[in-house]
Amino acid sequence: MSAVPAARARPAGARRPLVARAGLAAAGLLLAAAAQAYRPVVDYEVNCQGCHLPDGSGEAGRVPSVRRTLTLFSMSPAGRDYVIRVPGVSQSSLSDADTAALLNWMVAHLSDDPLPPGFVPYTGAEVARVRHRPLADPARRRADLLRAAGRAGKDPAPRRDISVVKRPRNG
């Protein structure tokens, strides 16, 4: 610790080293907290943004926008089940805990709607429980959920061609 020799050099600073050490510890905690907060952003950039775009708005006809749906889906057990089981989430290489943190970050940062009061954060345990049962037909499950929420047709289901690299925009 570079702070220790400097503190010793002060003759009357009997308390300084302790304070300095406490300061360093606090800085360490802050750094850890910052890394924690930074993590979901990077996970999103690396694993999701290629399809969902930086603001979550997706690509018409290919990847749905999560901006009006993620909060909605996150408020019901059936919706959460869908969110955790879509291929991009369930099959990513992220750990259960990181996936939960990422979803919570998306709810807070990539939604048009403010965080609903009753929102329950996703947890690693919840992700672990659900993710290993892949959805047979995500588009259909999505349409069912939107219909049940009275939002049928408002957020059209994507076409199932996400493996195609790029389609002409005017196609």
Burial class of 22 by CB neighbour count within 10 A (0 to 12, 13 to 18, 19+): exposed
Neighbouring CB atoms inside 10 A of 18's CB total: 11
**21: which 2 tokens?**
């050490």
Beta carbon of residue 146, minimum distance to ligand HEC (angstroms, whole number):
8
Alpha-carbon distance of 53 to 48, in angstroms, equals 8
Alpha-carbon distance of 146 to 155, in angstroms, equals 8
Site string for ligand HEC, 55-94 (x = CB under 6 A): --------xx-x--xx------------x--xxxx--x-x
Residues 126-155 that bind ligand HEC (CB under 6 A): 138-139, 142
Beta carbon of residue 116, minimum distance to ligand HEC (angstroms, whole number):
16
Residues 14-53 that bind ligand HEC (CB under 6 A): 47-48, 50-52
Site string for ligand HEC, 90-129 (x = CB under 6 A): --x-x-------x---------------------------
Beta carbon of residue 34, minimum distance to ligand HEC (angstroms, whole number):
22
Alpha-carbon distance of 39 to 33, in angstroms, equals 10
Give the CA dihedral 36, 41, 137, 84, nearest 10 degrees: 20
Which spans of this chain sit near ligand HEC (rule: CB under 6 A)?
Answer: 47-48, 50-52, 63-64, 66, 69-70, 83, 86-89, 92, 94, 102, 138-139, 142, 158, 162
